[in-house]
Chain A
Amino acid sequence: MKLRAWIRERTDVRMPTGMIHGGPSFAHVFGWVLLLLLLVEAVTGTALAAFYSPSTTSAWGSVAYVQDQMALGWLVRGLHYHGGSALVIVTGVHLLQTAVYGAYKKPRELVWWLGIVLLLLVLGFTVTGYVLRWDQAGYWANRVEVGIAASTPVVGKQIRELAIGGNEYGNLTLTRFYALHVIVLPAIVALGVLGHIVLALRHGATTLRPDMPATRRWPDQALRNAFAMALAFAALLGYAVSQHGADLAAPADPSAAFDARPLWYFRWLFELRHIFGSWERFAALAAPAVVAGILVALPIFDRTPSPALRNRMPFIGAVVGLGALVGILTLLSFRADARDADLAKRQDAADKLAIRARMLARDNGVPVTGAQDVFKTVPMYRARSLYAQRCRGCHDAGSKDRKGPIIGPGHGNRAWLRGFLTGPSGDAYWGRTKLAKTEDAMKAVDIAGGDLDDLVELLYAQSGAPDADTAKRDRGKALFDKACNDCHNLDEGVASASAPCLYGIASRDWFTGFIGNPKSAVHMGIDKSEMPRLDKDLSIVDRDLIAQYLVWLRTATPQDLEALGPL
């Protein structure tokens, strides 16, 4: 008490009268709930800003890191994101309550108008915030929103360039929206809220029960406020927990089709665009202006002195009607999506991609070259994509255009070699090559039992496999010299008359060389292979990567291949 008097003496600041017209009521709690929600946004937003990195290459990764790896990061993100939705809902209810109570009337016009401005600023927060995550959802929603703004007559191009910070989406787009979201809008909203509160307290509450006596705000109204705030926060917390934070789609990809949808509170505009057909431009730009215009005009047209409901039915009807229209359009939009089976399939695929991207980000980290490259962190990504582009068509078991031997798990192991030696023109081996149908095709070897094992071991040892049995290999060499070396040889770099040199066959070096030029004299020779040489357009590094992958395949099982995950 002494302290309060001391301060009052030096500042002359007094609390407002503390009386509330018409007695305590739950009708007056919404402003307090909004204040709490704004506080939640400010606190969670400050924490998130400490983790966020606004650049096209790092934004998604920093958000994924908070969502999936930091302690309770998902919850803070969830409170922040769903808190935005809650702000929109409660602002709408607050607006409706104010309209029904006629609390916009003289002398409260400024409070009302300031409230409408604050609603628009809240929507501005959501638009500037959604793009920051730089995932498919935020990126494409923003592109459409900016596209709509850019279709403004005359100054559209300038608006677009100002909004995205240049001629195209890039780093400056994010720095710009970030500055708006965390500095400019909060500063303006803080001032607006301060003005709104000061004016609202000065004018006091509007009541529908003017005959009831005014009571003190404390403690009856204060308790109601606290109760409503607790309820709203519990609902927000519960929802954020139930959603495990907020979504995060796969990293933004300018080349991949994505079903861009605006945040749910803009769905009514999205639906309106569909309904309006070729008038959609009018719908997109004019409809929000019309709605805002009607709200702004309310205190100008409604000059009835008494707040009694029956005198103001047309005005209440207009506001409630607008609210209902927005609500119905929103429902229609969600219903149309729910009935679209193709959309559900595409969204399912998008969800799966998001999960994969986030798992890779968590397990392998996001490359500094950009969040898109997170997909390239899977094992042997480059080798496997080169293989998929250049080799799979002719060598994959499932390819209907296969022209060469099947390459897959176990390619080049002992079982594979035995199969090859006993039936080189079998379908899995050279059966589909042109060579198999000519006189030059290799004949099945006429060796069986332990001798065959020895010959297999000799070839197996050429690959450099560490588990080759040297005794068997040496016995195999003796067999080779009798049975094979009419056509083949085992000397490094020496071309045979009619068949490949088998020195180092299926080793990493051998694969690199063979892929580079299978028509070389030490390999198939100029006229026996249909396989194109790859040294013309793949670097030796790339050929070596493919070779390493082929060596890996020799000891791999189909499960190992599966475990690498999709490309």
Chain B
Amino acid sequence: MGDDDGGPSRRRFLGYTTCAIGGGIGLSLLYPVVRLVADPMCRQTVTTPTEPIDIGAADRLRVAATWQQVPVIAPVIADAWSTSHDVVLGGAFIRQPAAGKLEALSAVCPHLGCAVGYDPGANTFLCPCHNSRWDRDGNLLPDGKAQRGLDPLPIEVKDGRLRLTWVAYKLDTASREPA
């Protein structure tokens, strides 16, 4: 060894080659792994219905009565490898302030997505996670963390059945846009 190893340029060349081989192995191993781990970001892993969901008979809503809390149950959802039936997507509040006029609010807190409850004592909506409150019409009350009112959901009556469209909105923003 010593002097007859070809001098500094040969040593540098061999060094680079070794690094290149190592790098090649590393990249070839890392690429499929990173691609796999990142794949869920590039696709819809959980598919929930975008069409209206049946949430019960229309006669359950009495005119001018207070909000009713209902679970929104998707007839079918796809979650990665699995398909499930009757899966709870989240909660909603529904009411009929005047005959034929229907209103629905998502029970997902527009702050960080906790489930909002109705506080019948104070007659307000309350998110138990960070104490955001909304008035009886779903308008934001001060002192909470949420930046907007509760999110309305499209609701309609068809053939005597209530049909609600589930929409997930972007969280923790003042404006309301679908996620």
Contacts and interface: CB of A to CB of B under 8 A. Distances in A.
A166 B41 contact: yes
Interface string B134-154: 000000000001000000000
A162 B88 contact: no
9 contacts: A147-B172, A165-B40, A168-B48, A168-B168, A255-B71, A255-B88, A255-B89, A257-B116, A260-B128
A144 B79 CA distance: 21
A372 B45 contact: no
B101 interface: no
B115 A258 contact: yes
Contact of A143 (B80, B89, B114, B130): B114
B84 A369 contact: yes
B91 interface: yes
Given A140-B114, A144-B112, A151-B172, A259 B128 contact: yes
Contact of B80 (A147, A172, A255, A369): A172
Contacts of B127: 257
Contact of B79 (A56, A256, A259, A343): A56
A310 B24 CA distance: 55
Contacts, number: 108
A273 B172 CA distance: 14
A565 to B, nearest CB: 20
A144 to B, nearest CB: 5
Nearest to B143: A277
B90 A167 contact: no
Contact of A57 (B82, B107, B114, B129): B82
A162 B41 contact: yes
B128 A258 contact: yes
Contacts of B168: 168
A199 to B, nearest CB: 26
Nearest to B57: A537
B171 A253 contact: no
Given A148-B112, A168-B46, A255-B91, A162 B38 contact: yes
B105 interface: no
Given A147-B171, A167-B179, 13 more contacts: A55-B82, A144-B114, A144-B129, A147-B113, A162-B41, A166-B44, A166-B45, A168-B48, A168-B168, A170-B45, A171-B79, A171-B82, A254-B90
The residue in A147, A158, A258, A369 that gathers the most chain B C-beta atoms within 10 A of its C-beta is: A147
B107 A172 contact: no
Contacts of A55: 82
Interface in A271-289: 273-274, 280-281
Contacts of B114: 140, 143-144, 257-258, 260
Interface string B30-50: 000000001011011110100
Given A162-B38, A165-B40, A166-B46, A257 B84 contact: no
Interface residues of A, number: 41
Interface string A227-265: 000000000000000000000000001111111100000
A92 interface: no
B6 to A, nearest CB: 32
Interface residues of B, number: 41
Contacts of A257: 91, 107, 114-117, 127-128
A343 B57 contact: no
Contacts of A165: 40, 45
A253 B145 CA distance: 23
Nearest to B82: A171
Nearest to B46: A168
B57 A260 contact: no
Contact of A253 (B41, B81, B88): B88
A148 B111 CA distance: 10
Contacts of B162: none
B72 interface: yes
B120 to A, nearest CB: 11
Interface string A55-74: 11100000000000000000
A354 B168 CA distance: 28
Given A166-B43, A170-B80, A254 B89 contact: yes
B79 A254 contact: no
B72 A255 contact: yes
A151 to B, nearest CB: 5
